[in-house]
Amino acid sequence: MNHDAYRTLRVSRQDGIARVTIDNPPINVLSVAVMTELRHLLTTLAGDDTVRVIVFHSADPDFFLAHVDMTATPEALAGLMAGLPDGVNVFQAVGEQLRRQPQVTIVKLAGKARGGGAEFVAAADLAFAAIGRAGLGQIEALMGIVPGGGATQYLTERIGRNRALEVVLGAELFDAETAERYGWINRAVPAGELDEFVDRLAGNIAALPDGVVAAVKHAIVPREHTEGLARENEAWAGLVLRPGTAQLMGAGLAHGAQTRDGEQDLEGLFRSLLRCHSA
């Protein structure tokens, strides 16, 4: 298995654990290349019964996965669209593949994850976030759209309808402690202890007797979201092609979205654009 061919992922394997470092500077945007390589890697690892745990983390301490690349074009997405499973769009396919992975998947969240990045966190089996550093948010409403990568379903399952409405429509960045309290992540961990905590948990799981991980994942299955994902895709597709959406995203890019400075307060950036638009 040659992991050196990946451009945006660094992969290492030891003692039943695959460690995947997301490395797509400058802000780890969830680009076509990242989605393509994640899907390829998950497919490859699914057939490897020597790997019991997959840990995802970031090469960038400030950004886990920023969000879906706002510059991605339909032409660029065509390759991913060609191999889609039935009933899901390009973005949902990443989350659904992650949710059905035979290994235990763990996100080690030390930085920010918005939009599609936050959806990736919610799709993983387990997620642990650094207190004072991690942030989670669904930014899409400020761009004139709705989440299109599974968040409407994954969040409702994890935190309940009322809190999912707050997350999606409030479009705020949630800190680790609040995300833990809501049930979005498993646990908020002091930043200096996050690596040790996740490494210990991953090692303990990987060291279980043969067959235990597979049996538990067979018994505790992901909830079926087929109808909900179809509704989400319909809602997303009905908004994403509107001229106003393109104008908002274009203005966001012009004012610093997908730059390190602009992404520190992406919610504030888009709220200021909305105020200017409505003035």
Closest CA relative to residue 91, chosen from 149, 52, 47 = 149
CA dist 52 and 206 (Å) reads 5
For 80, 138, 150, 272, 277, the CA distances from 33, given in Å and listed in that order, are: 10, 21, 19, 31, 33
Q: What is the pLDDT of residues 38-47, one digit of tens each?
A: 999 999 999 9
The pLDDT value recorded for residue 3 is 63
Cα three-residue angle 160-177-93, rounded to 5 degrees: 50
Q: Which segment of 84-88, 190-194, 266-270 scores lowest on mean pLDDT?
A: 84-88
The pLDDT value recorded for residue 189 is 98
Q: What is the pLDDT of residues 90-149, one digit of tens each?
A: 999 999 999 999 999 999 999 999 999 999 999 999 999 999 999 999 999 999 999 999
Q: pTM above the 0.85 mark?
A: yes
For 103, 144, 191, the CA distances from 157, given in Å and listed in that order, are: 21, 24, 27
Phi, psi of 7 (to 5 degrees): -95, -30
CA dist 221 and 263 (Å) reads 35
Find out whether 153 and 122 touch, Cβ atoms under 8 Å: no
Q: What is the pLDDT of residues 52-87, one digit of tens each?
A: 999 999 999 999 999 999 999 889 898 888 878 888
Closest CA relative to residue 67, chosen from 130, 139, 122, 156 = 139
Task: Give the chain's domains with CATH numbers.
Answer: 9-206 (3.90.226.10)
Interval 138-163 mean pLDDT: 98
The pLDDT value recorded for residue 55 is 98
Residue 72, class by beta-carbon neighbours within 10 Å (0-12 exposed, 13-18 middle, 19+ buried)?
middle
Q: What is the pLDDT of residues 194-214, one digit of tens each?
A: 999 999 999 999 999 999 999
Q: What is the pLDDT of residues 241-259, one digit of tens each?
A: 999 999 999 999 999 999 9
Tally the residues of the chain.
279
